[in-house]
């Protein structure tokens, strides 16, 4: 259980990073697809 507790902040960090990057990716796609 201790190991899992230590990994939680890392998982949250990764999740936030993933959401931010996918959001940026979507914005990028919008820019490239729109004329």
In the predicted model, is pLDDT for residue 35 greater than 90?
no
Three-class SS of residue 34? coil
The total number of residues written for the chain in this structure: 35
More confident residue, 14 or 3: 14
Q: Is the pTM of this model over 0.75?
A: no
* Nearest 10 degrees: Cα torsion 12, 18, 14, 4: 60
4-28 residue pLDDT tens: 778 889 999 999 999 999 999 999 9
pLDDT of residue 7: 86
pLDDT of residue 20: 94
More confident residue, 35 or 33: 33
In the predicted model, is pLDDT for residue 1 greater than 70?
no
């Amino acid at each position: 259980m201790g190991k899992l507790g230590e990994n939680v902040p890392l998982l949250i960090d990764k999740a936030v990073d993933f959401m931010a990057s996918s959001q940026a990716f979507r914005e990028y796609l919008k820019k490239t697809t729109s004329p």
